[in-house]
Chains A and B, each alone.
Chain A
Amino acid sequence: MIMRPARAATIIPALFGLLAIGSIFVDLLPFLQGGTAWQALFTPDDSRFDQIFFHYSTLPRTAMAFMCGAGLAVAGAAIQTIFRNPLASPTTLGVGAGVELALTIFLVMAPASLAPFQDVFTLAGGMIALGIVYLIASGRSNATLWLILAGMIVNLLLHSATQIFMLFNQQYLDSIFMWGAGDLAQNGWDSACYLAPRLVLGIIAIFALTRPLDILALGDDTANSLGAPVKWLRLIILTIAIFITASIISAVGMIGFIGLAVPATLRFVGFTRSKSLLPMSLLVGGCGLVVIDYVMRQFAGTGGDIFPTGAATALIGAPFVIVILRKARIMPDGNANSQDHPADYNLAAKHVLMVLLFVGLLAGLALSLLVSLDGQGDVVFTPIADLFAFTSTVGDRAQRTLAAIVCGAALAVSGTLIQRVGHNPMASPEITGVSSATALAMIIAMVYFGIDGRTDLMLIGAVGGVIALMVLLGLCRNFSHAPHYLLLNGLAITAILGSVVRIAMTHSGTKATMLISWLAGTTYFTRMDEVIAVAMITAILTILTLLARRPLELASMGPDQAVSLGLGISMFRLAMMMGAAILAAVSTLLVGPLSFVGLMAPHLARIAGFRLAGAHLIGAILIGANVMMVAEWLARNILYPQQLPTGLIAALIGTGYFLVLSARRR
């Protein structure tokens, strides 16, 4: 039985269809007036550039826009149905980022003889990324949320890995960047002819699997009881969806949010069955991207530059996600999900562990100041006397190592607060969007207002971070700071950051490379006085939090218990989130927005058995500081004299940690 769609359900597809036809009509208008429309469409006059341009650029570009939008929306609809998750999509589950990384590596490194295997390679990239996300999220009590959070983590990680790859090939930066930003420009029908058969095959395959999709949508248990080979069906459909995504990204680069927003909206307005959802996604996705691309084409040439369509879709799509979140009651309730905490590994008595971590930190500090690699694979020992003489080399290393340690500590406190107050072990400052907003403010100031004094940038960044927090809290007010909404809105802000960065990169000229390395989290530009300032702020806020450890303990029990115990829960939560945001912002100022230490350290501390708020905080600080210290040493030494961003190494450690954790749970 097909449900009768609401009125919006007929209006939305009709509107997008009309707009798309309208935009093609406007493009064709000059030829209609000249009576040459037929010619321009099918047999352009070689001596008329306007006809050549229409036939070989505008027309294939419109066709590409339609195909890409349609393909992504259908792939998104399939993925959302399989995971029964309205926020799943090729881009949110890391598939896009995986394909992008694979393709970047392939383009820069693969010899020409391997060119026919490009499809296989990118498909594998997307599959591996989705596999990692699935591995982290599967078996959780709250799979819907975990899937999205894991997807976001993997996305951020793979994306920064791609950027690092570009850092080391920066002469090609311009071209890879524009490609990465989803530029739909065409100069012939070649790309369209490359993409069309792949998409047609993929889309037909998914349409053929409409019934199995609906069975999967009933949930694993029901589907199993109906006798469906759930695992195989799921694998086949996902492979097809990833194949579609990989083909599109190979052809035009990243185009975000179409695959998320289109099927999610259509489902929301009433297309719940795959039979109607899939064709509607095809229509609305295709027409939607045609319209967006038409608008972006009108901006081309301003300031001697272009606006990539793919980045624009993220800019339009991200606020849209916020709206979906508010309209659709899709979030699980905000109760603490205790089974998300794996059993404690009581490695050692807690105070012994604490001492060990502290000694490890001190010994590690001395070692990272004295031991280095020389780039030829040899280990170089600086004489131990230098440590006390504090020579300039040791001074350099100390500055960066301390910056890393302080940031590790600040993010650990921030993460502990967010995880405890938010009752969510996957929450972290990176994911709430505060770090992203801090970075966003600094990038806009740097690229568009030409501000490059570090102090100014830091102030602007801090203001940006606090404003973001206010906006986030404002958006979540109706849900009494419901933690899930906070996180998912953060996801949207991070996506906006992503697209603004892409646009800014193309406009920033020579600053692009500096921006990339800072965004990936480098301690390179950090100065000792900044380290001291951040250390002071961290110390003060940590002490305040430690003083408030008893109410924090109550708040972690969940709102009902806390209120019944007489705690003014909203104000306290607000204050704690504020502190967390300030810490996240100051550490972002120092080493950029990405590290996952704020996610990993509190998690690890909790597993190690530090359950009470006070011990949890201190344990997390020690773990965070240790991790960042190790990451910093690796970043400086693996590729000496080249330097990698510390944040990226820490993020790699963090993702590895979650993978190991997921594997052990099995």
Chain B
Amino acid sequence: MRRTFMFAIFTIGTLCAMAFHPLPVHAESKTYTHEMGSVAFETPPTRIAVTNWSLTETVIALGLAPVAIADPQDYREWVVKPDLPAGFVDIGQRQSPNMEALRKAKPDLILISKELAMAYDALSEIAPTMVISTFNNAKPALQSIINTTRQIAAVTGREQRANEILQLLDETLAQDGARIRAILGPDQRLAVIRINSDAQINVFGPPSLPNTVLAAMNIPTAYNGETTGWGFARGGLELLAPFANDTIAFIEPTPAPVRQRIVSSPLWKMQGFARNNRVYQVPPVWTYGGVYSAMRFADLLAAQIENGPYK
């Protein structure tokens, strides 16, 4: 009796185990690792949700239309290009993408950066989630952007498109570099800054997008010192004192009165670059973007330098 009972239990157990065991995978499932684990896909995902602008830009550059985008309004002001697709779900702020809205978008892949690490588990329940951080990791930005682009291209099966845009990137940087050197000369160093407030600026340093793009364009960079996690040094206008004989380019957007107060302050006007008329204004570029932002920076910088210095 007892033996029969044990046998019955065993049989039922085995049957159950067989019933619930996942079926052997027939299609070839590919595994892709990322910063916090790995994801597997049989067919490349197409409905992609993006939680920051660098990822948004990269996915659009790869020819895909993200189904869910965070902070789309501000994207249009700060990143500008590439244009957002026609239809997508607005998932609210980048630092806390709305889970409900995200579900409504029915993504099959969610892309986040390390800043949302605390929400990784929750997001993974909605769809396979990859953590890909392009910035704030002390890696040179341009190389990091290229890696990110290739990584997302591999998952989405867009390697061909990735090769094309990276090719385009190389060509653009080579051309723009030549245009800039033609005007400034081969040895003129460039410092790229952003105006922060009435008394404060950020000077982009070695790991930042502007400086790595300049390096790729063969243009000497002026600031090569310490930076914060964002890739710039922050401080007063005295930070620019060593660059008296160099060229300064400041990136927009800046509130007009703040820009006015900075450029008309004695500490700015009396420095070498301002006296030598070597200051250029660059229209909005998202300095934490992707391949398109890098090309946009190079194009706009070249165009502005051809246009002439900021008055």
Please give the distance in Å from B34's CB to the nearest CB on chain A: 16
The secondary-structure label for the interface of chain A is: helix
Q: Determine if A138 is an interface residue (Cβ-Cβ < 8 Å).
A: no
Q: For B241, what are the chain A residues with a Cβ–Cβ distance below 8 Å?
A: 49, 53
1/0 per residue, CB under 8 A from A, across B61-97: the answer is: 0000000000000100110000000000111111110
Q: In the complex, are the beta carbons of A57 and B238 less than 8 A apart?
A: yes
Q: Determine if A610 is an interface residue (Cβ-Cβ < 8 Å).
A: no
Q: In the complex, are the beta carbons of A304 and B117 less than 8 A apart?
A: no
Q: Which residue of B lies closest to A528 (CB)?
A: B122
1/0 per residue, CB under 8 A from B, across A100-116: the answer is: 00000000000010010
Q: For A514, what are the chain B residues with a Cβ–Cβ distance below 8 Å?
A: 95-96, 115-116, 118
Residues A483-532 near B (CB distance < 8 A): 506-511, 513-514, 517, 522, 524-525, 527
Q: In the complex, are the beta carbons of A509 and B99 less than 8 A apart?
A: no
Q: For B91, what are the chain A residues with a Cβ–Cβ distance below 8 Å?
A: 641
One of B7-15, B194-202, B296-304 at the interface: B194-202
Select one of B94, B196, B235 contacting A300, CB under 8 A. Answer: B235
Interface size class of A (residues with CB under 8 A): 35 or more
| Residue from A55, A186, A304 having most chain B Cβ neighbours under 10 A | A304
Please give the distance in Å from B144's CB to the nearest CB on chain A: 13
The secondary-structure label for the interface of chain B is: mixed
One of B20-28, B210-218, B258-266 at the interface: B258-266
Q: Determine if B230 is an interface residue (Cβ-Cβ < 8 Å).
A: yes
Q: For B114, what are the chain A residues with a Cβ–Cβ distance below 8 Å?
A: 452, 510
Q: Determine if B46 is an interface residue (Cβ-Cβ < 8 Å).
A: no
1/0 per residue, CB under 8 A from B, across A304-348: the answer is: 111000000000000000000000000000000000000000000
Q: In the complex, are the beta carbons of A304 and B228 less than 8 A apart?
A: yes
Select one of B200, B233, B261 contacting A178, CB under 8 A. Answer: B200
Q: In the complex, are the beta carbons of A56 and B94 less than 8 A apart?
A: no
Select one of A52, A112, A183, A510 contacting B200, CB under 8 A. Answer: A183
Q: Determine if A167 is an interface residue (Cβ-Cβ < 8 Å).
A: yes
Q: In the complex, are the beta carbons of B99 and A396 less than 8 A apart?
A: yes
| Residue from B77, B98, B113, B261 having most chain A Cβ neighbours under 10 A | B98
Q: Determine if A662 is an interface residue (Cβ-Cβ < 8 Å).
A: no
Select one of A46, A57, A305, A372 contacting B234, CB under 8 A. Answer: A305
Q: In the complex, are the beta carbons of B118 and A641 less than 8 A apart?
A: no
Q: In the complex, are the beta carbons of B100 and A372 less than 8 A apart?
A: yes
Q: For B257, what are the chain A residues with a Cβ–Cβ distance below 8 Å?
A: 112, 115
Q: In the complex, are the beta carbons of B118 and A525 less than 8 A apart?
A: yes
Q: Determine if A393 is an interface residue (Cβ-Cβ < 8 Å).
A: yes
Q: Which residue of A lies closest to B116 (CB)?
A: A514
Q: For A643, what are the chain B residues with a Cβ–Cβ distance below 8 Å?
A: 92-93, 96, 98
A396 to B97, CA, bound (A): 13
Residues A616-666 near B (CB distance < 8 A): 636, 640-643
Please give the distance in Å from A211's CB to the nearest CB on chain B: 39
Known A-B contacts A112-B257, A392-B125; the reply to A641 vs B266 at CB < 8 A is no
Q: Determine if A454 is an interface residue (Cβ-Cβ < 8 Å).
A: yes
A509 to B228, CA, bound (A): 7
Q: In the complex, are the beta carbons of B196 and A513 less than 8 A apart?
A: no
Q: For A56, what are the chain B residues with a Cβ–Cβ distance below 8 Å?
A: 265-267, 270
Q: In the complex, are the beta carbons of A304 and B205 less than 8 A apart?
A: yes
A237 to B256, CA, bound (A): 37
Q: For B78, what are the chain A residues with a Cβ–Cβ distance below 8 Å?
A: 171
Q: For A509, what are the chain B residues with a Cβ–Cβ distance below 8 Å?
A: 136, 228-230
Please give the distance in Å from B272's CB to the nearest CB on chain A: 8
A488 to B130, CA, bound (A): 47
Q: In the complex, are the beta carbons of A191 and B90 less than 8 A apart?
A: no
Please give the distance in Å from A320's CB to the nearest CB on chain B: 28
A46 to B244, CA, bound (A): 13
Select one of B89, B98, B115, B271 contacting A510, CB under 8 A. Answer: B115
Known A-B contacts A175-B196, A452-B117, A510-B229; the reply to A187 vs B235 at CB < 8 A is no
* Nearest 5 Cβ contacts at the A-B interface: A509-B229, A187-B267, A641-B92, A304-B233, A513-B95
Q: Which residues of B contact A (CB under 8 A)?
A: 74, 77-78, 89-96, 98-101, 103, 113-119, 121-122, 125-126, 135-136, 196-200, 202, 205, 225-230, 232-238, 241, 244, 256-258, 261-262, 265-268, 270-271
Interchain Cβ contacts under 8 Å between A and B, 23 examples: A46-B270, A56-B267, A57-B237, A112-B257, A175-B196, A178-B196, A178-B234, A185-B236, A187-B237, A191-B199, A300-B235, A301-B235, A304-B227, A305-B233, A396-B103, A452-B114, A454-B118, A508-B229, A514-B118, A524-B96, A640-B100, A640-B101, A643-B92
